[in-house]
Structure 1
């Protein structure tokens, strides 16, 4: 997985990262992804700043609650320990 191998980030950030890089949602090659990662100077940032840059909306210098929703959805969908919450719509809405 590119997110873990190249970026050294947790896989639950994959959807947010790819939405940030692949704006048209058309897909991209591994080489194109690496070029975007390197050209965006992401290698020069610490992990916390990388995550901040991935999650924040373009043009903003801050995060909002909405920015975390894709990550929370991915965690809920993939984490085996949270499987019991998948069928709980009232939890998911919060």
Structure 2
């Protein structure tokens, strides 16, 4: 967890330096047939998550959500895609 104190002199909102980011690793697993990756993300909304295919070989799943006024939870994980993965059909729900 990182915390840097400070406030922006231009407004009453906390500056980026006063925000606290809690990094975590969510539980995850491929289904038995390797067609679906399950990532347990309670409390996260769709707009707080991001899916990317990296070099056609890895799926990058990341997210960040506000927990309190100046505290955020975030994660960033890379998963190797199965050799037969059709990267054009990757979706999230």
Same topology, TM > 0.5? no
TM-score (norm. length: structure 2): 0.24
TM-score (norm. length: structure 1): 0.24
The structure with the largest strand share of the pair is: 2
Q: Which has the larger radius of gyration?
A: 2
The structure with the largest helix share of the pair is: 1
